[in-house]
Amino acid sequence: MKQIAILGSTGSIGSQALEVIAAHPDKYEVYALTANNSVDRLIDQARRLKPEVVVIANEVHYPRLRDALSEFPIKVYTGSDAINQIVHAEPIDIVLASMVGFAGLCPTIEAIKAGKIIALANKETLVVAGELVTSLAMKYKTPIIPVDSEHSAIFQCLNGESGNVVEKIILTASGGPFRTFSQLQLETVTKAEALKHPNWDMGDKITIDSASMMNKGFEVIEAKWLFGVPYDRIQVVVHPQSVIHSMVQFADGAVMAQMGAPDMRLPIQYAFSYPRRLSSAFPRVDFALLESLTFEQPDMDRFRNLALAYEALEKGGNMPCVLNAANEVCVAAFLREEIGFLQMSDIIADTMAHVPFGKDLSLEDYIETDAESRRVALSFINPK
């Protein structure tokens, strides 16, 4: 019986992870649940699952959480430090890092230091500090198993291929809701339109990232650190059907692809059960009913965020951290309807141009870069 801590249990990935756990009660048990602000959903999860520990990051919600769970033998804590500490709990076997944004970096690092298996769904951890995180994982001999459907696909394609030269990694992208939009149409995209993803059910922030293709840019950066492949050997192709989740091309020209229905529970379950495959009731792809599988070149002029991600990765150092911080600020502003869809790319580019470049960074350096980048990005959104 594996004990699992879910960081970000109220989000899309966390909620689907609980479905996976519920489907295999003989194999998995929830030890800890954490959330940032969604206190009512966290209360509901805690009452149903009765974990050992529950943590709410935002201290404002602590009294409500504590009182709502007072009748249960559940330890209730608050604050980001509590999340960092709880991942060290000895009974925990697997930490699902599914917190959204930069907030997931420190607890993931702490879980690595604690030697836990990391099921990584938080893109920003490797985007912001990939060099530091991967070096710590090697130092503490901590396995990192990707949960993103694309990186899980690559991970599965590489299984059993140790020693074989990887020529190229091919990340597939759905293209999002605006795949066929012109530049002129993109100028008037609304929040409501951007939140309607054609294939995947995700939280607001990730859905906007997918619509702008920043999500795919982040995945390029992640792939570099997860699989040790340089940026110029990571290709993005648009695949609207979302059946092929990603591919690996080897030195002999052979291409391995992982396919399946667009359902995040599959890569979540694989991360929990690796190297075994457990049976599931997840949807299956009926290839007899598929009319076609199509592929397109991504348009980096219309979807500039993807180009900015490649630029940040090529430059290295703190630039991916700057990219992420500026993007988080811009997505929040777009969701508040303070800036337009295309303005996000402009502000991210301006922020990358104004934040000083640095390399050979410590965790404290990344934290300082994140704070400075947010300040600069906000100055472009709300100029004095």
* pLDDT per residue as tens digits for the range 124-177: 899 999 999 999 999 999 999 999 999 999 999 999 999 999 999 999 999 888
| Per-residue DSSP letter, 162 | T
Whole domain around residue 218: which residue ranges? 151-261+286-315
Please give the pLDDT value at position 304.
96
Q: Each residue of 62-97: pLDDT tens digit?
A: 999 999 999 999 999 999 999 999 999 999 999 999
Distance, CA of 320 to CA of 20 (rounded, Å):
32
Tell me which of 146, 162, 188 is where a domain ends.
146
Residue 363, C-beta contacts closer than 8 angstroms, at least 6 positions apart: 105, 106, 109, 129, 132
Q: Is residue 335 part of a domain?
A: no
In a domain, 325, yes or no: no
Length reported for the chain: 384
Asked whether residue 161 falls in the same domain as residue 304, the answer is yes
Same domain, 119 and 52: yes
Domain shared by 8 and 129, yes or no: yes
Asked whether residue 341 is assigned to any structural domain, the reply reads no
User: Are 233 and 176 in a shared domain?
Assistant: yes
Same domain, 72 and 184: no
Same domain, 129 and 82: yes
Tens-digit pLDDT profile for the chain (384 aa)? 999 999 999 999 999 999 999 999 999 999 999 999 999 999 999 999 999 999 999 999 999 999 999 999 999 999 999 999 999 999 999 999 999 888 899 999 999 999 999 999 998 899 999 999 999 999 999 999 999 999 999 999 999 999 999 999 999 999 888 999 999 999 999 999 998 866 556 678 888 998 999 999 999 999 999 999 999 999 999 999 999 999 999 999 999 999 999 899 999 999 999 999 999 999 999 999 888 999 999 999 999 999 999 999 999 999 999 999 999 999 999 999 999 999 999 999 999 999 999 999 999 999 999 999 999 999 999 876
CA-to-CA separations, 142 to 80, 109, 115, 120, 138, in angstroms, rounded: 22, 10, 5, 12, 7
Q: Are residues 28 and 77 in the same domain?
A: yes
Residue 178 in tokens: 């605006």
3-state secondary structure 118-158: EEECCHHHHHHHHHHHHHHHHHCCCCEEECCHHHHHHHHHH
What pLDDT is recorded for position 197? 66
197 and 305 share a domain? yes
Last residue of a domain, one of 315, 335, 358: 315
| Token reading at 39 | 């206190």
Q: Can you give the pLDDT at residue 382?
A: 81
Q: What is the Rg, in whole angstroms, of the alpha carbon atoms belonging to the chain?
A: 20
pLDDT score at 384: 65
Q: 32 and 83: one domain?
A: yes
Residue position matching structure tokens 């939009």: 181
Cα–Cα distance between 258 and 278 in angstroms, integer? 17
Q: Is 358 within the bounds of a domain? A: no
Q: Looking at residue 377, what is its pLDDT?
A: 98
139/233 same-domain check: no
**Same domain flag for 199 and 290:** yes
205, part of any domain: yes
Q: What is residue 357's predicted lDDT score, i.e. its pLDDT?
A: 96
Total domains, the chain = 2
Cα(365)–Cα(358) distance, integer angstroms: 9
Task: Please report whether residue 329 resides in a domain.
Answer: no
Question: What CATH number did the domain enclosing 32 receive?
Answer: 3.40.50.720
291 with 166, same domain?
yes
Of 235, 187, 195, 188, nearest to 211 by C-alpha is 195
Cis peptide before 275 (omega within 30 of 0): yes
Q: Alpha helices, DSSP H only, in the chain?
A: 12-23, 39-49, 62-68, 80-86, 105-113, 123-139, 149-158, 183-186, 191-194, 204-212, 214-227, 265-273, 304-315, 319-335, 343-354, 363-381
Torsion over CA: 192, 198, 203, 207 (sign)? negative
Instruction: Classify residue 8: in a domain, yes or no.
Output: yes
pLDDT at 143: 96
Q: How far apart are CA 69 and CA 67, in angstroms?
A: 5
Of the residues 117, 146, 175, which one is the last residue of a structural domain? 146
Q: For strands 117-120 and 94-97, give the pairing.
A: parallel
Specify the pTM.
0.92
Instruction: Supply the pLDDT for residue 102.
Output: 86
Closest CA to 219 of 143, 161, 305, 300: 305
The whole-angstrom distance between residue 294's C-alpha and the CA centroid of its chain comes to 25
**CB-based contact 239:293 (threshold 8 Å):** yes
Query: Tokens in use for 214?
Result: 């920043």
In this structure, is residue 374 part of a structural domain?
A: no
